[in-house]
Chains A and B, each alone.
Chain A
């Protein structure tokens, strides 16, 4: 559910106030970019898709019903754009790991772990990758992920469990 402030900004953006929409973009950009970076495995591609997701959200603002947060709604749009464009798959072969070294992310981890994780993420099936990125990466609940990805709750739980095991294996860890 959107917060009061978010509801106010959405109403203003619907009236055509660019500043209100910019505030919405600013408040949610990290989560949307973060998810799409993990989903595509590419920093630039992820950011480009995130921009596309926000532009699509602007065009469909009248259709936002407020059943979920604005963030979850935009991430859902971004997921469908990325999946339909199949950019993640097309680009997988030419994926460049340089962006991981220059990653401007918050948090720190050894480069070897980042590369191993990115490779393991890329190897996951599309739906599983999306569920893992949202649940483990962005901290959404299973229920929220089910709504964002339009999947049954049981499927999301199973995707996250299996994905987590595969990611741990890629890091040389076992599930305890």
Chain B
């Protein structure tokens, strides 16, 4: 008798009827969580790319600073090559026009 009363009161204070809205509310929270995670992943990916680019530029700067003479030579050579290519193209166009 005593256990019956306890079990009856137990059943009446907890187990609710099945609520069809409950699953919908859970799915709504799941979708919000999915969206939040996707946003977080995108932010982290962006931060990673930015950090990698910044680190690359920094290392390039450090290297260029340590090899200033070589960089300057490289820049002069590159400018010379570009100028030569530009002149060669101009000459070639003239010759084609004369022909």
Give A contacts to B, CB under 8 Å: 18, 21-22, 25-26, 29-31, 33-35, 37-38, 43, 47, 50-52, 54-55, 58-59, 100, 103-109, 113-114, 116-118, 121, 133, 136-138, 164, 167-168, 171, 173-176
Give the distance to chain B from A136, nearest Cβ to Cβ, in Å: 5
Given A18-B30, A168-B6: A106 in contact with B23 (beta carbons within 8 A): no
Would A29 and B12 count as touching, CB distance under 8 A? Answer: no
Give B contacts to A, CB under 8 Å: 1-3, 5-20, 22-27, 29-30, 33
Would B16 and A105 count as touching, CB distance under 8 A? Answer: yes
* A25–B28 CA distance with the chains assembled, in angstroms: 12
**Interchain pairs with CB closer than 8 A, number:** 127
Would B6 and A35 count as touching, CB distance under 8 A? Answer: no
Would B13 and A103 count as touching, CB distance under 8 A? Answer: yes
Would A51 and B15 count as touching, CB distance under 8 A? Answer: no
Contact sample, A vs B, 29 pairs, CB 8 Å cutoff: A18-B27, A22-B23, A22-B24, A25-B27, A30-B15, A38-B13, A38-B14, A43-B16, A51-B26, A51-B29, A55-B30, A105-B16, A106-B15, A107-B8, A107-B12, A108-B12, A109-B9, A114-B9, A114-B13, A117-B9, A117-B13, A133-B14, A136-B7, A171-B2, A171-B6, A173-B2, A173-B5, A173-B6, A174-B2
Given A38-B13, A105-B17, A114-B12: A164 in contact with B29 (beta carbons within 8 A): no
In the bound complex, residues from chain B placing their C-beta under 8 Å from that of A52 are 29
* A98–B25 CA distance with the chains assembled, in angstroms: 23
Partner of A21, one of B11, B17, B20, B27: B27
Partner of B5, one of A30, A103, A113: A113
In the bound complex, residues from chain A placing their C-beta under 8 Å from that of B9 are 109, 113-114, 116-117, 171
Would B27 and A22 count as touching, CB distance under 8 A? Answer: yes
In the bound complex, residues from chain A placing their C-beta under 8 Å from that of B5 are 109, 113, 171, 173
